[in-house]
Amino acid sequence: MGGLSEGLIQLLIPAAALLGIGFAFLQWVLVSRVKVSGYADDESQENNLIETGHEEGFEDFEVVAKCAEIQKAISVGATSFLFTQYKYLVVFMGAFGAIIFLFLGSVKSFSTKSEPCTYNKGQMCKPALANAIFSTIAFFLGALTSVLSGFLGMKIATYANARTSLEARKGIGKAFTIAFRSGAVMGFLLAANGLLVLYASINLFKLYYGDDWEGLYESITGYGLGGSSMALFGRVGGGIYTKAADVGADLVGKIEKNIPEDDPRNPAVIADNVGDNVGDIAGMGSDLFGSYAESTCAALFVASISSFGFTHNYAAMSYPLLISSMGIVICLITTLFATDLVEVKKVSEIEPSLKRQLLISTVLMTAGAALVSFVALPSRFKLYDFGNDKVVKNWHLFFCVVTGLWAGLIIGYTTEYYTSNAYSPVQDVADSCRTGAATNVIFGLALGYKSVIIPIFSIAVSIYVSFRLAAMYGIAMAALGMLSTIATGLAIDAYGPISDNAGGIAEMAGMSHEVRERTDALDAAGNTTAAIGKGFAIGSAALVSLALFGAFVSRAGIETVNVMNPRVFIGLIVGAMLPYWFSAMTMKSVGSAALKMVEEVRRQFNSIPGLMEGRTKPDYANCVKISTDASLREMIPPGALVLITPLIAGTFFGVETLAGLLAGSLVSGVQVAISASNTGGAWDNAKKYIEAGASEHAKALGPKGSEAHKAAVIGDTVGDPLKDTSGPSLNILIKLMAVEALVFAPFFAAHGGLIFKHI
């Protein structure tokens, strides 16, 4: 038996979650100490002014008032967009919840009789109708938690952006700490909320299911489906919003009018800053929450049909939740390194400090995973392995978690190498701008394709190792290992958009050149960390999706997935096409929305007198409306494609074709996603490299407005939808189709394949 008693575990998991929420609250209190109003009464402020010396008291008051005004505009814009989006999503949730209930309820034609268990032969399990009801409830819970994660993240980011700009006047270290703390608020809230809601759901469902663990954990898979379906719309909608504004603002502002980025004369500038919050923060939050929920659900489901599901070993069954709890504690210690133990004093220390976060959390989590594995798990046990039992020892599972964890670190570091302007790949891309935009595009695409190699090998190794050690459960645990340090991953990821916004606010409020240089330095590091975050999301999506695929195959009763079978192969080839179809939709949506935005920005520059001279204000609201309308209208077709495809494949073509479809979309989606987000990140940082002019090489290419810089801006603009819309949405496509197939597996197994039954 495992060494921990049930009572102790019932205490430890919620304690870790509450610790995470408490820590997030503490960070928020520290951030809110920076005041954005009423600076005149603040005595300490005078000392700061003497230190900085170059900004007068009166001007200072004006700058603060202006920061507060801009911050409010961004916050109002982001909140109103998300509320409008949620109105649409409530309708979708209701409809999809009904589909889940009807499909699963019809498996045994809505009977309320108990039935023999699928795996634990000789035992009686709760009726299929119960599975339908509880899966639907779990779906709603997952969806709500996902929406809440995104919304809270956005609120914190819009709260912190102006505070970061104001702190940047005192020095780079202060600004970095505020931006990082705010990111940590989001990271810890999300990790702790996800764990707490899942833990509470399991305990509530247990009141009905009692000893029927198989039924209990099968219905819990709805939680992952809810989380990811909201994430899909959040990611796609937010991505279209942010990039329509960004591309529109850049093309007219920087290339045609030659005004700086985030210049207050640019009508699209507020929409652009709102977009950072709804796309990169709210979308990313929901996305990583979805991964986290799904990998936990996959692990719990596979465990429930293994020996510790049958023997009701509570400690071993809770292993995935204990790993996540340990992750929260480890990330808490890690965060202190960035904010309290080691202080950032100069620009060159920003990126190493963020990279150190990844390394510290990975090393500490390795020890944490060892502790959990040896305390919670029995020394040997049986795992379900496609109809056979596989004997596994507790150290096998420790290795599964650790391979996932370190694969995540390798993916993070590789992404950083290919997207940071401190290394040669991005510098080569910047250098290619000398001969114009075409060579820049060629070099950028090549970089993206090349950056896929190492991540794919590391995913392949962790899949092979974890499958050999502990079958599908091992892969689910590897995915959970990669996501165990999610709080730190999200903190460094959310830091990026907050710094980006801070730079925008500094520019719009007319702060000094020095402050703008500091926020630019924070933002360039933020671009790289955002790319690392996307790398994590994509890598974990690949493992999660494979674990869900394994759970689906065993639930649907497929013995083997044979590629030579034409039913499987057609699924495979169509599945591989889906990421391209999906990317085409999202890219075109950004393109057409950006077209409208460019026309509107041009119209304002041409028709509003005194706008270029800065005498009158542009009409920001109109640009915000264009972005909002475009994203709400355009998020529906790609979302529908992802959600309807598995239902059609399973219902009409059967479980074998669906298995092929999932495998195909997984294999091609990962490649497209990694290359798209790294290409976009590299182009963005190549542009920043030229703008910063930090080295002799960069000075030779610059300054802003030179031909090479214009070529770099074009590359950046092409890369925007790749790195912020198509790339990051693809990882949701991969996971969402797999978790949907798993939730609907009982229906497909019973009634699927209408066409192939007759051919």
Task: Report strand pairing: 115-116 vs 124-125.
Answer: antiparallel
Q: Decide if pLDDT at 48 tops 60.
A: no
Helix or strand holding residue 497 (H, E): helix 486-508
pLDDT over 60 at 47, yes or no: no
Distance CA 238, CA 315 (A): 40
The pLDDT value given to residue 41: 39
The two structure tokens encoding residue 424: 């040669």
Which of 112-121, 162-171, 265-274, 322-331 is least confident? Answer: 112-121
Q: What was the pLDDT predicted at 749?
A: 87
pLDDT at 51 over 70: no
Q: Is 376 helix (H, G, I), strand (E, B) or coil?
A: helix
Alpha helix stretches (DSSP H) within 106-212: 128-167, 172-209
Does 55 have pLDDT greater than 70?
no
Strand partners of residue 390: 383
How far is Cα 372 from Cα 374, in angstroms, rounded to an integer?
6
Whole-number Å distance between alpha carbons of 465 and 24: 35
Q: Percentage of the chain surpassing pLDDT 90?
A: 38
Which pLDDT belongs to residue 758?
A: 66
Confidence of residue 759 (pLDDT cuts 50, 70, 90): low
Give the phi and the psi of residue 115 in degrees, each rounded to 5: -140, 160
pLDDT in tens, 126-135: 887 888 999 9
Indicate whether 2 pLDDT > 50. no
Average pLDDT over residues 707-726: 89
Sign of the alpha-carbon dihedral angle for 180, 688, 281, 445: negative
| d(C-alpha 716, C-alpha 589), whole Å | 18
Tokens of 658: 């669906």
Neighbours of 615 (CB within 10 A): 10
Provide the pLDDT confidence category of residue 386 given band limits of 50, 70 and 90. Answer: low
User: Is the CB of residue 516 less than 8 Å from the CB of residue 477?
Assistant: no
pLDDT at residue 42 tops 70: no
Q: Where are the domains of the chain?
A: 8-31+75-758
* Residues 89-125: tens digit of each pLDDT: 999 999 999 999 998 888 877 777 777 777 666 677 7
Distance linking the first and last C-alpha atoms of the chain: 51
Average pLDDT over residues 299-311: 77
* The pair of three-digit structure tokens given for residue 52, joined into one six-digit string: 């900085």
Least confident of 32-41, 146-155, 280-289, 446-455: 32-41
What per-residue confidence (pLDDT) applies to 1?
41
CA distance 201 to 142: 10
d(CA 689, CA 289): 33
Closest by CA to 524, choosing from 351, 676, 353, 354, is: 351
DSSP characters for 351-416? HHHHHHHHHHHHHHHHHHHHHHHHHHS-SEEEEEETTEEEEEEHHHHHHHHHHHHHHHHHHHHHHH
Span 416-442, pLDDT tens digits = 899 988 899 999 999 999 999 999 999
The residue count of the chain comes to 759
pLDDT of 291 reads 86
What span, in angstroms and rounded, lies between the C-alpha atoms of 395 and 348? 41
* 48 or 657, higher pLDDT: 657
Q: Which residue has the tokens 């575990």?
A: 9
Angle at 381 between CA 376 and CA 383, to 5 degrees: 110
C-beta of residue 508 within 8 angstroms of C-beta of residue 197:
no
Return the pLDDT at 324: 92
Question: Model's pTM, two decimal places?
Answer: 0.88
3-state DSSP of 227-241:
HHHHHHHHHHHHHHH
3-state helix, strand, coil split of the chain in percent (to 5) is 80, 0, 15
Residue at token pair 């690392």: 532
State the average pLDDT for the chain. Answer: 87
